[in-house]
Amino acid sequence: MPEEAAVQREFVVHEEKMVMVDEKARPENEIIALVKKGDREAYREIVERYMKRAYYLALSFVRNSQDAMDISQDAFIRAFRKIKKFDTKRDFFPWFYKLLKNLCLDHLKRSRRIHEVPLDGVRILKKEQEDREMKEVLWRGIENLPMEQKEVIILRYFQQLSYKEIAETVDKPIGTVMSSLYYAKRKLKEAIGRFLGFDQ
């Protein structure tokens, strides 16, 4: 399919830049409308707008840089294939995120390998310690969370999304998001407490 090949080439050309573009440059629904008419240049604008966020979200799930790049690229290609069915009254990223997450989950099902991503500069808990062992405990705790809780931890603390944005992204009520986040943080604190030798 030549159009999909072109999309893939355009992504590869720009992936090394990993530059966030000004999201106020042009209304998203206008760009999507052009993409639906076959404007590949307009779709490149969408890719450039979201590729960094997509990459780091995939990285948070699969914990391997190359796999995250491959998955995020594949997600953009799949989104391009399905774009004609996309409702331009909605935001693009929550719809795209579902494609991306499903690809990440498929990858994790196929491969149970454990990869490590440095957590320098990523604040999960206010009292997070900087030593390597603590980070490994924290990652292990995140890996062991139920998917719903792991997802909100990633979106809240890796992507710095608000509760409202998370609710829109995962298509769940804000109360459910807050509850999932509460229990996820409690489990992570318990894991860290056990590591430090504290009784819960």
pLDDT digits (tens, 9 = 90+) for 72-81: 999 999 999 9
Are 13 and 106 in the same domain?
yes
Assess contact for 175 and 169: CB atoms under 8 A. no
Q: What is the CATH number of the domain that holds 169?
A: 1.10.10.10
Are 15 and 95 in the same domain?
yes
Least confident of 24-33, 52-61, 169-178, 180-189: 24-33
With a CB cutoff of 8 Å and minimum separation 6, the contacts of 52 are: 18, 19, 20
Residue 115 lies in a domain: no
Q: Total structural domains in the chain?
A: 2
Are 64 and 155 in the same domain?
no
Residue 93 lies in a domain: yes
Q: Which of 47, 79, 110 is the last residue of a domain?
A: 110
Are 137 and 106 in the same domain?
no
State the Cα–Cα distance between residues 32 and 35, nearest whole angstrom: 5
Global confidence as pTM: 0.64
Residue 180 lies in a domain: yes
Mean pLDDT of 93-107: 91
3-state secondary structure of 168: helix
The amino acid at residue 31 is: I
**Owning domain of residue 99:** 2-110
Are 136 and 98 in the same domain?
no
Are 13 and 104 in the same domain?
yes
Q: 48: pLDDT confidence band, cut at 50, 70 and 90?
A: very high
Q: What is the CATH number of the domain that holds 59?
A: 1.10.1740.10
Are 142 and 94 in the same domain?
no
Q: How far is CA 199 from CA 13, 127, 129, 147, 194, in A?
A: 52, 17, 19, 26, 7
Angle subtended by helix axes 40-62 and 28-36, to nearest 10: 110
Are 188 and 91 in the same domain?
no
Q: Which residue has the higher pLDDT, 42 or 122?
A: 42
